[in-house]
Amino acid sequence: MELRIRKTPPLRGEVTVPGDKSMSHRAAMLAALSDGRCRLDNYLPGEDCLGTLRVLRQLGVEIGETGPNEFVVHGCSGRFTAPTDDLDCGNSGTTMRLMSGLLAAQPFRSRLTGDASLSRRPMRRVIEPLQQMGAVLTAEGPGGCPPLVIDGNPSLQAVEYRLPVPSAQVKSAVLLAGLLARGTTTVIQPVETRDHTERMLEYFGVPVAREGGRISVGGGRLPKARDFTVPGDISSAAFWLVAAACQPGANLALPAVGLNPSRTGILAVLRRMGATIEADFPSTERGEPSGDILVTGSALTGTVIAGAEIPNVIDELPILAVAGALSAGTTVIRDASELRVKESDRLAVVAHHLLAMGADVTEHPDGMEIRGGQPLHGAKLASHGDHRIAMAFAIAGLFADGETMIEDTACVETSYPGFAAQLRRLAHGQS
């Protein structure tokens, strides 16, 4: 599968993005742990989150599908049944890392596998804290990579664990294991990362203590059954935000997008670059703020994205790099070496693809410098099986002379089913 893109007039109209990926995974897992029936609405029907449902079903959780984005999960009160086969996490790091936390406390062995990309991603970051809690985890791949074999321990002990990397997935794996452990588990995060796990635990009736960077949960308090409606994914909205913000004359409305402050860094960065974005007065339902976003296009200027802001925009950096190339002046991305261990080495791939389109870019070990304003031209670009690379460069193609061809775009299905159809509709001026 491939995507072919040409320059379009400014985007106008409305676009509804699918449910948030991070929240969908967590809602499914907490519902599965809960003590009853939970309806999940606007669940992301992307391959990553469907993979989490598949894994949970393999663990004996009954899950009914009542609509394309609507599932009913029958919680098993924290007791999974031993799987008879490997648990295939597909392309999804979130599935593998968060499920590791839950499986660490089960009285059986599980083996988690993934596709070629997930099989290259580091798992020591979850192995270390979960071993400290008393589970036995073995990475079968080279350098601590999947497959991951977990010999669970139903008598896990609480830990106090300081995150060595600013990762919400690692934080969540430890907190989820902590729910099923003896004592109070504390994760210390030196830099703030997305807090969906903490908010959702509280919404599902599990107390979470938060003091500065210390987050604690007590063992033995299982989630209470709750229904949850997943807000739209701001990381998916990011592609349209940049497409419209950089294009004078553009005007896009994005209804019902998640506006959790640990995820809205993209709005702050684009505003700093001169974008006009309205996203005020979010409503907070079920613990997660959401609201409508309105973006109006203008000429942007470069900015610096670094430090504590990085975890907040980690998934948006590829499309923000594209925004940098389309802006006047220089955009600098620093402190983002984590991007090298995502679905692809996103620093290398983004720098390569921007150069291929005519941008002026220097790659650094932990980021890049983009001297914006060079005219972009179409190019044939590999997705590297990375959904966010495919989508970021599809958007870049809207600004390039000639045709941009993104190869191997099946990966877009992991987080954004319907992206290509929405792109075609907006590019043809239908709102």
Distance (Å, whole) CA 292 – CA 294: 7
Read off the tokens for 179. 């729910």
Identify whether 195 is a catalytic site residue: no
Q: Which is nearer to ligand S3P, 194 or 226 (CB)?
A: 194
Question: By CB under 6 A, which span of 110-118, 161-169, 329-337, 373-381 interacts with ligand S3P?
Answer: 161-169
167 binds ligand S3P (CB under 6 A): yes
Name the minimum Å distance from CB 167 to ligand S3P.
3
The residues, ordered by sequence, that sit 6+ positions from 302 with a Cβ below 8 Å of its Cβ are 273, 324, 327, 328, 329, 330, 331, 332, 370, 372
The β-bridge partners of 36 are none
User: DSSP code of 182?
Assistant: B
Q: Which of 47, 233, 292, 315 binds ligand S3P (CB under 6 A)?
A: 315
- DSSP sequence for 1-18: -EEEE---SPPEEE-PPP
169 binds ligand S3P (CB under 6 A): yes
Letters for 328-347 (x = contact with ligand S3P by CB under 6 A, - = none) are: ----------x---------
For residue 147, say if its preceding peptide bond is cis, omega within 30 degrees of 0.
yes
One-letter amino acid for residue 45 of the chain? P
Residue tagged 């290259």 (tokens): 120
Q: Which is nearer to ligand S3P, 335 or 403 (CB)?
A: 335
Name the active-site residue from 20, 233, 315, 386: 315
Name the minimum Å distance from CB 314 to ligand S3P.
5
Read off the tokens for 313. 């925009």
52 binds ligand S3P (CB under 6 A): no
264 binds ligand S3P (CB under 6 A): no
Q: Which is nearer to ligand S3P, 176 or 267 (CB)?
A: 176
Name the minimum Å distance from CB 205 to ligand S3P.
21
Three-state DSSP class for residue 323? helix
Residues that bind ligand S3P (CB under 6 A): 22, 94, 167-169, 172, 194, 314-315, 338
Residues taking part in catalysis: 315
